[in-house]
A and B are shown apart, each in its own frame.
Chain A
Amino acid sequence: MSYLRHTAGRGRRRNMASMTAVVETEGLTKFYGRRKGLEDLTLQIQPGEVFGYLGPNGAGKTTTIRLLLDVIRPTSGRATVLGADTRDSAVRGRIGYLPGELALEGRERAHDFLNFMADVRGGVSRGRIDELAERLDADLSIRMGQLSKGNKQKVGLIQAFMHEPELLILDEPTSGLDPLVQQEFLAMVREVRTSGRTVLMSSHVLAEVQNVADRVGIVRSGRLVAVEDVAALRERAVRHVEFHFDAPVPREAFEGLPGVRDVTVEGANLRCTIDGRPDALIKAAAKFTVVHMVSSEPDLEEIFLTYYSEEAPRAHAGA
Protein backbone atom coordinates (compact mmCIF):
# COMPACT_ATOMS: atom_id res chain seq x y z
CA MET A 1 0.00 0.00 0.00
CA SER A 2 2.79 2.40 0.87
CA TYR A 3 4.39 1.73 -2.48
CA LEU A 4 1.15 2.54 -4.23
CA ARG A 5 0.79 5.82 -2.40
CA HIS A 6 4.34 6.65 -3.30
CA THR A 7 3.94 6.07 -7.02
CA ALA A 8 0.64 7.85 -7.13
CA GLY A 9 2.17 11.00 -5.79
CA ARG A 10 5.29 11.13 -7.84
CA GLY A 11 6.22 12.46 -11.26
CA ARG A 12 4.23 15.14 -12.95
CA ARG A 13 1.53 14.86 -10.36
CA ARG A 14 3.81 16.59 -7.87
CA ASN A 15 3.89 19.66 -10.07
CA MET A 16 0.14 19.66 -10.21
CA ALA A 17 -0.33 19.49 -6.48
CA SER A 18 -0.22 23.27 -6.26
CA MET A 19 -3.04 23.62 -8.79
CA THR A 20 -6.66 23.49 -7.71
CA ALA A 21 -7.96 19.96 -7.92
CA VAL A 22 -10.97 19.46 -10.20
CA VAL A 23 -12.43 16.87 -7.88
CA GLU A 24 -11.49 16.86 -4.24
CA THR A 25 -13.03 14.70 -1.54
CA GLU A 26 -12.17 14.40 2.09
CA GLY A 27 -13.40 11.54 4.23
CA LEU A 28 -16.43 11.25 1.97
CA THR A 29 -18.76 8.66 3.44
CA LYS A 30 -22.21 7.44 2.49
CA PHE A 31 -24.39 4.98 4.32
CA TYR A 32 -27.81 3.97 3.02
CA GLY A 33 -29.37 3.33 6.38
CA ARG A 34 -27.02 0.71 7.80
CA ARG A 35 -25.74 -0.44 4.41
CA LYS A 36 -22.38 0.99 3.50
CA GLY A 37 -22.12 2.69 0.14
CA LEU A 38 -18.80 4.45 0.47
CA GLU A 39 -16.45 4.94 3.38
CA ASP A 40 -13.86 7.61 4.00
CA LEU A 41 -12.94 8.47 0.42
CA THR A 42 -10.13 11.00 0.13
CA LEU A 43 -9.22 11.64 -3.46
CA GLN A 44 -7.93 14.40 -5.69
CA ILE A 45 -8.30 14.52 -9.43
CA GLN A 46 -6.16 17.13 -11.16
CA PRO A 47 -6.94 19.30 -14.18
CA GLY A 48 -6.25 17.64 -17.50
CA GLU A 49 -6.24 14.18 -16.01
CA VAL A 50 -8.18 11.14 -17.12
CA PHE A 51 -8.97 9.19 -13.98
CA GLY A 52 -10.19 5.62 -14.27
CA TYR A 53 -12.38 4.59 -11.35
CA LEU A 54 -12.43 0.85 -11.11
CA GLY A 55 -14.19 -1.74 -9.06
CA PRO A 56 -16.71 -4.54 -9.27
CA ASN A 57 -20.42 -3.76 -9.38
CA GLY A 58 -21.69 -2.52 -6.05
CA ALA A 59 -18.23 -1.43 -4.86
CA GLY A 60 -19.18 2.22 -4.48
CA LYS A 61 -18.30 3.73 -7.86
CA THR A 62 -21.79 4.97 -8.64
CA THR A 63 -22.26 6.12 -5.04
CA THR A 64 -19.15 8.29 -5.37
CA ILE A 65 -20.30 9.73 -8.67
CA ARG A 66 -23.81 10.47 -7.43
CA LEU A 67 -22.34 12.20 -4.38
CA LEU A 68 -20.20 14.39 -6.64
CA LEU A 69 -23.33 15.38 -8.57
CA ASP A 70 -25.39 16.03 -5.45
CA VAL A 71 -28.03 13.49 -6.42
CA ILE A 72 -27.40 11.91 -3.02
CA ARG A 73 -26.01 13.56 0.10
CA PRO A 74 -22.99 12.38 2.09
CA THR A 75 -23.37 10.91 5.55
CA SER A 76 -20.12 12.64 6.45
CA GLY A 77 -17.10 14.17 4.79
CA ARG A 78 -17.07 16.73 2.05
CA ALA A 79 -16.55 17.05 -1.68
CA THR A 80 -15.80 19.91 -4.02
CA VAL A 81 -16.06 19.85 -7.78
CA LEU A 82 -14.37 22.49 -9.96
CA GLY A 83 -13.65 24.43 -6.79
CA ALA A 84 -17.28 24.64 -5.70
CA ASP A 85 -19.28 22.76 -3.11
CA THR A 86 -21.29 19.98 -4.74
CA ARG A 87 -24.48 21.68 -3.54
CA ASP A 88 -23.80 24.68 -5.74
CA SER A 89 -26.10 23.97 -8.68
CA ALA A 90 -24.39 26.47 -10.99
CA VAL A 91 -21.27 24.30 -11.12
CA ARG A 92 -23.22 21.48 -12.74
CA GLY A 93 -23.43 23.46 -15.96
CA ARG A 94 -19.67 22.93 -16.26
CA ILE A 95 -19.95 19.16 -15.80
CA GLY A 96 -20.94 16.58 -18.36
CA TYR A 97 -22.46 13.48 -16.82
CA LEU A 98 -23.36 10.08 -18.14
CA PRO A 99 -25.30 8.00 -15.59
CA GLY A 100 -24.48 4.35 -15.16
CA GLU A 101 -28.11 3.44 -15.46
CA LEU A 102 -29.17 5.79 -18.17
CA ALA A 103 -32.95 6.09 -18.41
CA LEU A 104 -34.41 7.90 -21.39
CA GLU A 105 -38.14 7.44 -21.68
CA GLY A 106 -41.16 9.00 -23.24
CA ARG A 107 -42.33 10.15 -26.63
CA GLU A 108 -39.91 13.01 -26.90
CA ARG A 109 -37.49 12.77 -29.82
CA ALA A 110 -33.82 12.51 -28.98
CA HIS A 111 -32.85 15.80 -30.64
CA ASP A 112 -35.56 17.70 -28.75
CA PHE A 113 -34.27 16.25 -25.52
CA LEU A 114 -30.71 17.24 -26.39
CA ASN A 115 -31.80 20.76 -27.29
CA PHE A 116 -33.51 21.04 -23.92
CA MET A 117 -30.38 19.87 -22.08
CA ALA A 118 -28.32 22.34 -24.09
CA ASP A 119 -30.70 25.24 -23.38
CA VAL A 120 -30.59 24.72 -19.63
CA ARG A 121 -26.80 24.59 -19.68
CA GLY A 122 -26.68 27.88 -21.53
CA GLY A 123 -26.52 26.60 -25.08
CA VAL A 124 -23.97 24.72 -27.19
CA SER A 125 -22.25 25.82 -30.35
CA ARG A 126 -24.15 25.45 -33.58
CA GLY A 127 -23.92 22.10 -35.27
CA ARG A 128 -22.23 20.53 -32.26
CA ILE A 129 -25.03 18.05 -31.57
CA ASP A 130 -25.20 16.93 -35.18
CA GLU A 131 -21.44 16.61 -35.34
CA LEU A 132 -21.40 14.29 -32.31
CA ALA A 133 -24.38 12.35 -33.62
CA GLU A 134 -22.50 11.76 -36.85
CA ARG A 135 -19.33 10.68 -35.07
CA LEU A 136 -21.23 8.17 -32.95
CA ASP A 137 -23.61 7.24 -35.73
CA ALA A 138 -26.71 8.06 -33.67
CA ASP A 139 -30.18 8.63 -35.10
CA LEU A 140 -31.70 11.53 -33.18
CA SER A 141 -35.11 11.51 -34.84
CA ILE A 142 -36.27 8.48 -32.85
CA ARG A 143 -38.53 8.81 -29.84
CA MET A 144 -36.57 8.32 -26.63
CA GLY A 145 -38.65 5.43 -25.35
CA GLN A 146 -38.01 3.52 -28.57
CA LEU A 147 -34.23 3.91 -28.66
CA SER A 148 -32.21 0.70 -28.43
CA LYS A 149 -29.83 0.34 -25.49
CA GLY A 150 -26.85 1.22 -27.64
CA ASN A 151 -28.57 4.27 -29.07
CA LYS A 152 -29.61 5.47 -25.63
CA GLN A 153 -25.99 5.25 -24.59
CA LYS A 154 -25.05 7.35 -27.63
CA VAL A 155 -27.62 10.00 -26.75
CA GLY A 156 -26.25 9.90 -23.20
CA LEU A 157 -22.72 10.45 -24.47
CA ILE A 158 -23.80 13.31 -26.74
CA GLN A 159 -25.51 15.16 -23.90
CA ALA A 160 -22.43 14.65 -21.72
CA PHE A 161 -19.93 15.89 -24.30
CA MET A 162 -21.92 18.49 -26.24
CA HIS A 163 -21.35 21.56 -24.06
CA GLU A 164 -17.61 20.90 -23.86
CA PRO A 165 -17.66 20.71 -20.07
CA GLU A 166 -14.57 21.25 -17.94
CA LEU A 167 -15.21 17.98 -16.17
CA LEU A 168 -16.72 14.82 -17.61
CA ILE A 169 -18.07 12.24 -15.20
CA LEU A 170 -18.85 9.03 -17.04
CA ASP A 171 -20.30 6.04 -15.20
CA GLU A 172 -19.58 2.86 -17.15
CA PRO A 173 -19.55 4.79 -20.43
CA THR A 174 -18.81 1.94 -22.80
CA SER A 175 -21.59 -0.40 -21.74
CA GLY A 176 -23.84 -1.23 -24.65
CA LEU A 177 -21.57 0.33 -27.29
CA ASP A 178 -20.30 -1.73 -30.19
CA PRO A 179 -16.50 -1.85 -30.63
CA LEU A 180 -16.35 0.74 -33.41
CA VAL A 181 -18.31 3.26 -31.40
CA GLN A 182 -16.17 2.43 -28.37
CA GLN A 183 -13.09 3.45 -30.35
CA GLU A 184 -14.75 6.70 -31.35
CA PHE A 185 -15.71 7.33 -27.75
CA LEU A 186 -12.13 6.77 -26.58
CA ALA A 187 -10.95 9.21 -29.24
CA MET A 188 -13.41 11.76 -27.85
CA VAL A 189 -12.01 11.22 -24.35
CA ARG A 190 -8.47 11.76 -25.63
CA GLU A 191 -9.54 14.98 -27.30
CA VAL A 192 -10.97 16.17 -24.02
CA ARG A 193 -7.67 15.48 -22.30
CA THR A 194 -5.71 17.16 -25.11
CA SER A 195 -7.77 20.30 -24.59
CA GLY A 196 -6.78 20.28 -20.92
CA ARG A 197 -10.14 19.20 -19.54
CA THR A 198 -10.68 16.48 -16.99
CA VAL A 199 -12.39 13.10 -17.11
CA LEU A 200 -13.53 10.76 -14.35
CA MET A 201 -14.72 7.48 -15.80
CA SER A 202 -15.74 4.35 -14.00
CA SER A 203 -15.55 0.80 -15.19
CA HIS A 204 -15.48 -2.67 -13.79
CA VAL A 205 -12.70 -3.74 -16.16
CA LEU A 206 -9.31 -2.12 -16.45
CA ALA A 207 -9.00 -2.97 -20.15
CA GLU A 208 -11.70 -0.40 -20.89
CA VAL A 209 -9.81 2.49 -19.37
CA GLN A 210 -6.12 1.52 -19.49
CA ASN A 211 -5.56 3.09 -22.88
CA VAL A 212 -6.93 6.51 -21.96
CA ALA A 213 -6.50 6.83 -18.22
CA ASP A 214 -3.53 8.53 -16.56
CA ARG A 215 -4.35 7.11 -13.17
CA VAL A 216 -6.68 4.46 -11.91
CA GLY A 217 -8.31 4.24 -8.52
CA ILE A 218 -9.52 0.89 -7.33
CA VAL A 219 -12.55 0.80 -5.08
CA ARG A 220 -13.76 -2.27 -3.32
CA SER A 221 -16.51 -2.76 -0.73
CA GLY A 222 -16.92 0.99 -0.41
CA ARG A 223 -13.24 1.74 0.13
CA LEU A 224 -10.59 3.12 -2.15
CA VAL A 225 -7.90 0.45 -1.90
CA ALA A 226 -5.34 1.74 -4.41
CA VAL A 227 -4.55 4.65 -6.65
CA GLU A 228 -2.08 3.78 -9.34
CA ASP A 229 -0.36 5.57 -12.16
CA VAL A 230 -1.10 3.71 -15.38
CA ALA A 231 2.37 4.49 -16.74
CA ALA A 232 3.94 3.03 -13.61
CA LEU A 233 1.63 0.05 -13.83
CA ARG A 234 2.66 -0.46 -17.42
CA GLU A 235 6.33 -0.19 -16.51
CA ARG A 236 6.03 -2.98 -14.00
CA ALA A 237 3.88 -5.12 -16.19
CA VAL A 238 4.96 -8.52 -17.44
CA ARG A 239 5.53 -8.64 -21.17
CA HIS A 240 6.04 -11.62 -23.45
CA VAL A 241 8.75 -10.91 -26.00
CA GLU A 242 9.91 -12.88 -29.03
CA PHE A 243 13.03 -12.30 -31.16
CA HIS A 244 13.82 -13.90 -34.49
CA PHE A 245 17.48 -13.74 -35.56
CA ASP A 246 19.13 -14.52 -38.87
CA ALA A 247 21.18 -17.31 -37.28
CA PRO A 248 20.98 -19.53 -34.17
CA VAL A 249 21.90 -17.70 -30.97
CA PRO A 250 23.51 -19.03 -27.75
CA ARG A 251 21.16 -19.25 -24.83
CA GLU A 252 23.86 -17.97 -22.45
CA ALA A 253 23.79 -14.55 -24.08
CA PHE A 254 20.34 -13.95 -22.62
CA GLU A 255 20.61 -15.62 -19.25
CA GLY A 256 20.88 -13.63 -16.08
CA LEU A 257 19.81 -10.36 -17.65
CA PRO A 258 17.98 -8.10 -15.18
CA GLY A 259 14.24 -8.49 -15.45
CA VAL A 260 14.41 -11.26 -18.05
CA ARG A 261 12.83 -14.60 -17.20
CA ASP A 262 11.65 -17.84 -18.78
CA VAL A 263 14.25 -17.74 -21.52
CA THR A 264 13.85 -20.39 -24.21
CA VAL A 265 16.04 -20.52 -27.29
CA GLU A 266 15.12 -22.68 -30.28
CA GLY A 267 17.66 -22.21 -32.99
CA ALA A 268 17.32 -18.64 -34.21
CA ASN A 269 14.27 -17.92 -32.07
CA LEU A 270 14.24 -16.48 -28.56
CA ARG A 271 11.25 -16.33 -26.28
CA CYS A 272 11.18 -14.78 -22.82
CA THR A 273 9.19 -12.62 -20.46
CA ILE A 274 10.38 -9.30 -19.06
CA ASP A 275 9.41 -7.44 -15.91
CA GLY A 276 9.65 -3.72 -16.23
CA ARG A 277 12.08 -2.18 -18.68
CA PRO A 278 13.19 -4.08 -21.77
CA ASP A 279 16.48 -2.19 -21.91
CA ALA A 280 18.91 -4.99 -20.94
CA LEU A 281 17.26 -7.46 -23.28
CA ILE A 282 17.35 -5.07 -26.24
CA LYS A 283 21.06 -4.40 -25.69
CA ALA A 284 21.82 -8.11 -25.49
CA ALA A 285 19.82 -8.80 -28.63
CA ALA A 286 21.53 -5.98 -30.47
CA LYS A 287 24.73 -8.06 -30.61
CA PHE A 288 23.01 -10.30 -33.15
CA THR A 289 21.09 -9.57 -36.31
CA VAL A 290 17.42 -9.18 -35.46
CA VAL A 291 15.05 -10.17 -38.25
CA HIS A 292 11.78 -9.78 -36.42
CA MET A 293 10.53 -8.89 -32.98
CA VAL A 294 7.19 -9.38 -31.29
CA SER A 295 6.22 -7.75 -27.99
CA SER A 296 2.78 -8.37 -26.60
CA GLU A 297 0.83 -5.59 -24.85
CA PRO A 298 1.32 -5.84 -21.12
CA ASP A 299 -1.61 -7.40 -19.43
CA LEU A 300 -2.48 -4.75 -16.86
CA GLU A 301 -5.57 -6.68 -15.92
CA GLU A 302 -3.30 -9.30 -14.43
CA ILE A 303 -1.55 -6.78 -12.19
CA PHE A 304 -4.81 -5.17 -11.34
CA LEU A 305 -6.25 -8.46 -10.20
CA THR A 306 -3.15 -9.13 -8.15
CA TYR A 307 -3.89 -5.93 -6.22
CA TYR A 308 -7.40 -7.05 -5.70
CA SER A 309 -6.45 -10.31 -4.13
CA GLU A 310 -3.86 -8.54 -1.95
CA GLU A 311 -6.21 -5.86 -0.81
CA ALA A 312 -9.30 -7.94 -0.38
CA PRO A 313 -8.67 -9.09 3.22
CA ARG A 314 -7.95 -5.53 4.30
CA ALA A 315 -11.12 -4.25 2.71
CA HIS A 316 -13.18 -6.92 4.37
CA ALA A 317 -11.60 -6.24 7.72
CA GLY A 318 -12.66 -2.63 7.37
CA ALA A 319 -16.24 -3.48 6.58
Chain B
Amino acid sequence: MPTLVRKTLGEYRRSVIGWLIGISAFLSLYLSIYPSIRSNPDFYQQAALSKYPGPLKDLMGGLADIASGTGYLQTVVYQLLVPLLLIMFAMTLGTRAIAVPEEEGTLELTMTLPIDRRRLVLERWAAFSLGLLAVALVTLILVLALAAVGDLKVPAGNIVAAHTGLFLIAFFFGTLALALGAATGKRALALAVGGGYAVGGYVIETLGKSVDAISWLRWVSPFHYYLDGRPVFQGWPVGDYLVILAATAVLAMTAVLAFERRDVGV
Protein backbone atom coordinates (compact mmCIF):
# COMPACT_ATOMS: atom_id res chain seq x y z
CA MET B 1 0.00 0.00 0.00
CA PRO B 2 1.40 3.46 -0.86
CA THR B 3 2.95 5.19 2.13
CA LEU B 4 0.60 8.15 2.10
CA VAL B 5 -2.50 5.93 1.93
CA ARG B 6 -1.27 3.93 4.91
CA LYS B 7 -0.40 7.04 6.87
CA THR B 8 -3.79 8.64 6.07
CA LEU B 9 -5.64 5.52 7.14
CA GLY B 10 -3.75 5.73 10.42
CA GLU B 11 -5.07 9.28 10.85
CA TYR B 12 -8.62 8.11 10.08
CA ARG B 13 -8.57 5.06 12.30
CA ARG B 14 -10.17 6.54 15.40
CA SER B 15 -12.83 8.31 13.38
CA VAL B 16 -13.63 5.12 11.44
CA ILE B 17 -13.93 3.06 14.61
CA GLY B 18 -16.03 5.70 16.36
CA TRP B 19 -18.56 6.01 13.56
CA LEU B 20 -18.62 2.26 13.09
CA ILE B 21 -19.60 1.81 16.72
CA GLY B 22 -22.25 4.51 16.48
CA ILE B 23 -23.90 3.23 13.31
CA SER B 24 -23.72 -0.37 14.52
CA ALA B 25 -25.42 0.59 17.77
CA PHE B 26 -28.17 2.30 15.81
CA LEU B 27 -28.66 -0.71 13.54
CA SER B 28 -28.67 -3.18 16.42
CA LEU B 29 -31.18 -1.18 18.40
CA TYR B 30 -33.66 -0.69 15.57
CA LEU B 31 -33.36 -4.10 13.94
CA SER B 32 -33.70 -5.93 17.25
CA ILE B 33 -37.12 -4.43 17.96
CA TYR B 34 -38.56 -5.69 14.69
CA PRO B 35 -39.95 -8.94 16.21
CA SER B 36 -42.29 -6.93 18.44
CA ILE B 37 -43.55 -5.02 15.41
CA ARG B 38 -44.11 -8.18 13.43
CA SER B 39 -46.18 -9.61 16.27
CA ASN B 40 -48.57 -6.66 16.14
CA PRO B 41 -48.41 -5.39 12.50
CA ASP B 42 -51.73 -3.57 12.26
CA PHE B 43 -51.11 -1.49 15.34
CA TYR B 44 -47.66 -0.34 14.28
CA GLN B 45 -48.70 0.31 10.68
CA GLN B 46 -51.51 2.57 11.92
CA ALA B 47 -49.24 4.25 14.46
CA ALA B 48 -46.61 4.98 11.82
CA LEU B 49 -49.10 6.39 9.34
CA SER B 50 -50.76 8.63 11.92
CA LYS B 51 -47.44 9.89 13.24
CA TYR B 52 -46.29 11.06 9.81
CA PRO B 53 -49.20 12.71 7.98
CA GLY B 54 -49.14 13.87 4.34
CA PRO B 55 -45.82 15.12 2.98
CA LEU B 56 -43.95 13.93 6.07
CA LYS B 57 -44.97 10.43 5.09
CA ASP B 58 -43.37 10.98 1.70
CA LEU B 59 -40.21 12.22 3.41
CA MET B 60 -40.08 8.94 5.32
CA GLY B 61 -40.34 7.02 2.07
CA GLY B 62 -44.03 6.28 2.08
CA LEU B 63 -44.13 4.05 5.14
CA ALA B 64 -45.92 1.31 3.20
CA ASP B 65 -45.57 -2.17 4.66
CA ILE B 66 -43.63 -0.92 7.66
CA ALA B 67 -44.76 -3.99 9.50
CA SER B 68 -43.27 -6.33 6.89
CA GLY B 69 -39.57 -7.21 7.13
CA THR B 70 -38.80 -5.60 3.79
CA GLY B 71 -40.72 -2.41 4.50
CA TYR B 72 -39.28 -2.14 7.97
CA LEU B 73 -35.71 -2.55 6.68
CA GLN B 74 -36.30 0.04 3.99
CA THR B 75 -37.92 2.61 6.28
CA VAL B 76 -35.70 2.25 9.32
CA VAL B 77 -32.35 1.50 7.72
CA TYR B 78 -32.05 2.38 4.07
CA GLN B 79 -34.54 5.20 3.62
CA LEU B 80 -33.21 8.08 5.67
CA LEU B 81 -31.45 7.61 8.96
CA VAL B 82 -28.58 5.31 8.10
CA PRO B 83 -27.79 7.08 4.82
CA LEU B 84 -27.80 10.33 6.80
CA LEU B 85 -25.34 8.94 9.34
CA LEU B 86 -23.08 7.38 6.74
CA ILE B 87 -23.10 10.55 4.62
CA MET B 88 -22.19 12.63 7.66
CA PHE B 89 -19.32 10.26 8.33
CA ALA B 90 -18.18 10.27 4.71
CA MET B 91 -18.24 14.06 4.51
CA THR B 92 -16.29 14.37 7.75
CA LEU B 93 -13.68 11.99 6.38
CA GLY B 94 -13.71 13.69 2.98
CA THR B 95 -12.91 17.11 4.43
CA ARG B 96 -10.08 15.58 6.42
CA ALA B 97 -8.31 14.68 3.18
CA ILE B 98 -7.33 18.22 2.21
CA ALA B 99 -9.38 21.01 3.80
CA VAL B 100 -8.84 20.16 7.47
CA PRO B 101 -5.06 19.62 7.26
CA GLU B 102 -4.81 22.72 5.12
CA GLU B 103 -6.61 24.82 7.72
CA GLU B 104 -4.55 23.26 10.51
CA GLY B 105 -1.38 23.95 8.55
CA THR B 106 -0.21 20.33 8.58
CA LEU B 107 -0.72 19.95 4.83
CA GLU B 108 2.24 22.20 4.07
CA LEU B 109 4.87 19.66 5.10
CA THR B 110 3.07 16.87 3.26
CA MET B 111 3.12 19.02 0.13
CA THR B 112 6.85 19.46 0.32
CA LEU B 113 7.40 15.73 0.11
CA PRO B 114 8.34 14.32 -3.29
CA ILE B 115 4.71 13.43 -4.01
CA ASP B 116 3.11 15.32 -6.85
CA ARG B 117 -0.19 17.01 -6.22
CA ARG B 118 -2.28 14.60 -8.26
CA ARG B 119 -0.95 11.64 -6.36
CA LEU B 120 -1.43 13.45 -3.08
CA VAL B 121 -5.14 13.99 -3.76
CA LEU B 122 -5.62 10.50 -5.19
CA GLU B 123 -3.92 8.77 -2.28
CA ARG B 124 -5.88 10.79 0.27
CA TRP B 125 -9.04 9.93 -1.69
CA ALA B 126 -8.05 6.26 -1.76
CA ALA B 127 -7.61 6.28 2.02
CA PHE B 128 -11.01 7.97 2.43
CA SER B 129 -12.57 5.33 0.15
CA LEU B 130 -11.03 2.48 2.11
CA GLY B 131 -12.15 3.94 5.44
CA LEU B 132 -15.70 4.32 4.17
CA LEU B 133 -15.63 0.87 2.60
CA ALA B 134 -14.57 -0.65 5.92
CA VAL B 135 -17.55 0.89 7.71
CA ALA B 136 -19.90 -0.16 4.88
CA LEU B 137 -18.66 -3.76 4.90
CA VAL B 138 -18.85 -4.26 8.64
CA THR B 139 -22.32 -2.72 8.82
CA LEU B 140 -23.43 -4.90 5.89
CA ILE B 141 -22.39 -8.02 7.75
CA LEU B 142 -24.21 -6.71 10.82
CA VAL B 143 -27.44 -6.04 8.87
CA LEU B 144 -27.27 -9.50 7.24
CA ALA B 145 -26.81 -11.09 10.66
CA LEU B 146 -29.55 -9.08 12.35
CA ALA B 147 -31.94 -9.69 9.43
CA ALA B 148 -31.36 -13.40 9.78
CA VAL B 149 -31.76 -13.39 13.55
CA GLY B 150 -34.87 -11.19 13.44
CA ASP B 151 -36.27 -13.26 10.56
CA LEU B 152 -36.94 -10.24 8.33
CA LYS B 153 -37.47 -12.46 5.29
CA VAL B 154 -35.54 -10.18 2.95
CA PRO B 155 -33.35 -11.98 0.41
CA ALA B 156 -29.67 -11.53 1.30
CA GLY B 157 -29.00 -10.47 -2.30
CA ASN B 158 -31.37 -7.53 -1.91
CA ILE B 159 -29.70 -6.47 1.32
CA VAL B 160 -26.32 -6.55 -0.40
CA ALA B 161 -27.77 -4.49 -3.27
CA ALA B 162 -29.30 -1.93 -0.90
CA HIS B 163 -26.14 -1.70 1.17
CA THR B 164 -24.06 -1.19 -1.97
CA GLY B 165 -26.31 1.77 -2.78
CA LEU B 166 -25.81 3.03 0.76
CA PHE B 167 -22.06 2.89 0.30
CA LEU B 168 -22.31 4.61 -3.08
CA ILE B 169 -24.46 7.51 -1.91
CA ALA B 170 -22.06 8.14 0.99
CA PHE B 171 -19.11 7.69 -1.37
CA PHE B 172 -20.61 10.34 -3.62
CA PHE B 173 -21.16 12.92 -0.88
CA GLY B 174 -17.85 12.19 0.80
CA THR B 175 -16.05 12.65 -2.50
CA LEU B 176 -18.04 15.85 -3.04
CA ALA B 177 -16.83 17.20 0.31
CA LEU B 178 -13.29 16.12 -0.53
CA ALA B 179 -13.47 17.83 -3.92
CA LEU B 180 -14.87 21.05 -2.44
CA GLY B 181 -12.10 20.96 0.17
CA ALA B 182 -9.47 20.30 -2.49
CA ALA B 183 -10.77 23.16 -4.62
CA THR B 184 -11.16 25.74 -1.85
CA GLY B 185 -9.26 24.53 1.20
CA LYS B 186 -12.24 25.49 3.34
CA ARG B 187 -13.79 22.87 5.58
CA ALA B 188 -16.89 24.85 6.55
CA LEU B 189 -17.68 25.62 2.93
CA ALA B 190 -17.23 21.99 1.89
CA LEU B 191 -19.55 20.80 4.66
CA ALA B 192 -22.16 23.50 4.06
CA VAL B 193 -22.37 23.06 0.31
CA GLY B 194 -22.15 19.27 0.47
CA GLY B 195 -24.64 19.05 3.32
CA GLY B 196 -27.02 21.46 1.60
CA TYR B 197 -26.93 19.40 -1.56
CA ALA B 198 -27.59 16.22 0.42
CA VAL B 199 -30.59 17.61 2.30
CA GLY B 200 -31.97 19.40 -0.75
CA GLY B 201 -31.45 16.32 -2.90
CA TYR B 202 -33.27 14.12 -0.45
CA VAL B 203 -36.24 16.47 -0.13
CA ILE B 204 -36.52 16.87 -3.89
CA GLU B 205 -36.44 13.14 -4.48
CA THR B 206 -39.00 12.23 -1.81
CA LEU B 207 -41.42 15.15 -2.14
CA GLY B 208 -40.88 15.36 -5.90
CA LYS B 209 -42.82 12.15 -6.28
CA SER B 210 -46.06 13.91 -5.40
CA VAL B 211 -45.21 17.56 -6.09
CA ASP B 212 -45.14 18.00 -9.84
CA ALA B 213 -43.53 21.44 -9.67
CA ILE B 214 -40.24 19.96 -8.51
CA SER B 215 -40.46 16.47 -9.91
CA TRP B 216 -38.35 17.40 -12.94
CA LEU B 217 -35.51 18.24 -10.52
CA ARG B 218 -35.34 14.68 -9.27
CA TRP B 219 -32.79 13.64 -11.85
CA VAL B 220 -30.17 16.02 -10.39
CA SER B 221 -30.65 14.54 -6.94
CA PRO B 222 -28.18 11.76 -6.11
CA PHE B 223 -30.91 10.23 -3.95
CA HIS B 224 -33.00 9.60 -7.04
CA TYR B 225 -30.45 7.02 -8.14
CA TYR B 226 -30.23 5.64 -4.64
CA LEU B 227 -33.93 5.34 -3.77
CA ASP B 228 -35.80 5.02 -7.02
CA GLY B 229 -34.72 1.44 -7.78
CA ARG B 230 -36.03 0.18 -4.41
CA PRO B 231 -33.24 -2.43 -4.08
CA VAL B 232 -34.57 -3.86 -0.79
CA PHE B 233 -37.70 -4.85 -2.70
CA GLN B 234 -36.39 -5.35 -6.21
CA GLY B 235 -32.66 -6.07 -6.10
CA TRP B 236 -29.87 -4.38 -8.04
CA PRO B 237 -30.64 -1.09 -9.86
CA VAL B 238 -27.42 -1.40 -11.83
CA GLY B 239 -27.94 1.58 -14.13
CA ASP B 240 -28.75 3.94 -11.25
CA TYR B 241 -25.70 2.83 -9.31
CA LEU B 242 -23.49 3.37 -12.33
CA VAL B 243 -24.75 6.95 -12.51
CA ILE B 244 -23.72 7.58 -8.89
CA LEU B 245 -20.37 5.92 -9.51
CA ALA B 246 -19.72 7.96 -12.64
CA ALA B 247 -20.64 11.20 -10.87
CA THR B 248 -18.27 10.26 -8.05
CA ALA B 249 -15.47 9.62 -10.51
CA VAL B 250 -16.06 13.03 -12.08
CA LEU B 251 -15.89 14.65 -8.64
CA ALA B 252 -12.64 12.85 -7.83
CA MET B 253 -11.15 14.04 -11.10
CA THR B 254 -12.35 17.56 -10.39
CA ALA B 255 -10.67 17.38 -6.99
CA VAL B 256 -7.37 16.40 -8.59
CA LEU B 257 -7.52 19.10 -11.26
CA ALA B 258 -8.66 21.84 -8.90
CA PHE B 259 -5.97 21.08 -6.36
CA GLU B 260 -3.36 20.87 -9.10
CA ARG B 261 -3.61 24.52 -9.98
CA ARG B 262 -4.17 26.49 -6.83
CA ASP B 263 -2.20 28.07 -4.00
CA VAL B 264 -2.32 26.07 -0.81
CA GLY B 265 -2.72 27.54 2.65
CA VAL B 266 -3.20 31.20 1.74
Which size class do B's interface residues fall under?
A: 20 to 34
Which among A11-19, A69-77, A270-278, A295-303 touches the partner chain?
A69-77
Bound together, the chains give a CA A32 to CA B262 distance in angstroms of 12
Q: Closest CB-CB distance, A291 to chain B, in whole Å?
A: 56
How many A residues face the partner with a CB closer than 8 A?
31
When distances are taken between beta carbons in the complex, the residues of chain A under 8 Å from B111 are 69-71
Bound together, the chains give a CA A102 to CA B3 distance in angstroms of 22
Which among A39-47, A103-111, A257-265 touches the partner chain?
A103-111
Q: A103-B104, A108-B11, A117-B109 known; A89 and B116 CB under 8 Å?
A: yes
Which among A51-59, A91-99, A174-182 touches the partner chain?
A91-99
Q: Quick check: is B108 within 8 A (CB to CB) of the other chain?
A: yes
When distances are taken between beta carbons in the complex, the residues of chain A under 8 Å from B104 are 103, 105
Partner of B264, one of A72, A105, A120: A72
User: Which secondary structure dominates chain B's binding surface?
Assistant: loop
What does the 1/0 interface line of B1-42 toward A look like (CB < 8 Å)? Answer: 001100100110010000000000000000000000000000
When distances are taken between beta carbons in the complex, the residues of chain B under 8 Å from A103 are 104-106, 108-109
Closest B-chain residue to A116, C-beta based?
A: B7
> Are B11 and A120 in contact, with the CB atoms below 8 A?
no
> Are A69 and B112 in contact, with the CB atoms below 8 A?
yes
Q: Quick check: is B266 within 8 A (CB to CB) of the other chain?
A: yes
Identify 11 residue pairs between A and B in the complex whose beta-carbon atoms are under 8 Å apart, listed by A's number. A71-B263, A72-B263, A72-B265, A89-B114, A89-B116, A92-B114, A99-B109, A103-B105, A104-B106, A117-B113, A121-B114
Closest 5 CB pairs of A and B: A103-B105, A93-B114, A89-B116, A72-B263, A92-B114
Please give 11 more A-B residue pairs, beta carbons under 8 A apart, in addition to A105-B106, A106-B11: A71-B263, A72-B263, A73-B262, A89-B114, A99-B108, A99-B109, A103-B105, A103-B109, A104-B106, A120-B4, A122-B114
